[in-house]
Amino acid sequence: MAYPRLLIHTGKILENAKRVVARAATAGIDVAGVTKGMCADPEIARAMLDGGCRWLADSRVSNLRRLRQAGIGAPLMLLRIPMLSELSSLIEYADLALVSMPDTVVALELACSALGKTVGALVMVDTGDLREGLWPDETGAMARTLSACRWVHPVGVGTNLGCFGGVLPTEENMGLLLAAAGRLSSGLPSPVEIVSGGGTSSLMLVEENRMPPGINQLRVGEAILLGRDITRLRTIPYLHQDTMILEAEIVEVRVKPSVPIGPIGADAFGNVPHFEDRGNRLRAIVAIGRQDVRLEGLTPLDAGVHILGASSDHLTIDIEECLMKPRVGDRVRFSPDYGAMLSLATSVYVEKIHV
């Protein structure tokens, strides 16, 4: 059996999807299941669809290709605004693309025309987080560009919150999105159909009955995959959090000082570490490192285990307080947050097992 490995409880992810979809439906909102956190794992994608998600969304064209090659026929959305160099591939695999620049729309129209294929466009609006999106005074120009298109169909507007600037969804910034939808629609032959009000961080507005009418889609990944909302530092009470467990193997167990011996410089990642002198402690080295996982996103599940630090391939843990002292060859378990899950999913050195 290969280690490290990520155990994925697909049934719990399916239940999370059902609960998120049901909660969103009370506000007239459809859910797009975001697969990027697990690199478009087909089994997870199918769980999202079985749970009622209307769309699947991912930020990488290669991940959309993976879904199509796995036989998934659901509508697919490219979450990241596309590079001009990938438009042909986008058109082949995506039904909907997020756009924020008229230049991109023009290039997308030319690419679609050359291939004889249509694609939908979701116009992104910046409502304060300062990541992608046009400003309100640019709405008219975008409407004129889209109105001139034959192959690119304007289907909606969307916004992103929390991912860059940490701005939380509110009734006010959702109102800005709805106003932008109205302005864009006024410049088009017909009103836009989709008003996509963010992702997991927007669920609290739904839960508290504060989501303004007219928002009819959310793009949800973290809540379904992990039952959490990192932007609000909360676990979502009606969802499962124990959906994924990292297991890694111990390769060394020794008593060592808690402070390194000698002058301290920067570590392998350019950081100058700080150590608390706790005397000699029993510690272990685990065969996983920063090349595989965002260390700060791991929570030990075994009592008495404390993470001390990691290099690219070695994770050092304090096991002095463990009642049953681990030995070489034993495994330790961790719960990942979103960032840790993302890095684990990306690492080719971590085996993914559905249980």
| Residues belonging to the active site | 36
d(CA 187, CA 141): 9
The residues pairing with 255 across neighbouring beta strands, listed in sequence order, are 282
DSSP secondary structure string for all residues of 141-160: HHHHHHHT-SSEEEEEEE--
Q: Helices 10-25 and 42-50 sit at what angle, rounded to 10 degrees?
A: 40
d(CA 132, CA 86): 18
The set of long-range contacts for 25-31, using a CB threshold of 8 Å and a minimum separation of 24, is 26/206, 27/206, 27/209, 27/211, 27/215, 28/213, 28/216, 29/197, 29/206, 29/211, 29/215, 29/216, 29/217, 29/218, 30/54, 30/55, 30/216, 30/217, 30/218, 31/55, 31/217, 31/218, 31/219, 31/220
Fill in the amino acid letter for 156. Answer: G
Contact 28, 213 (CB under 8 A): yes
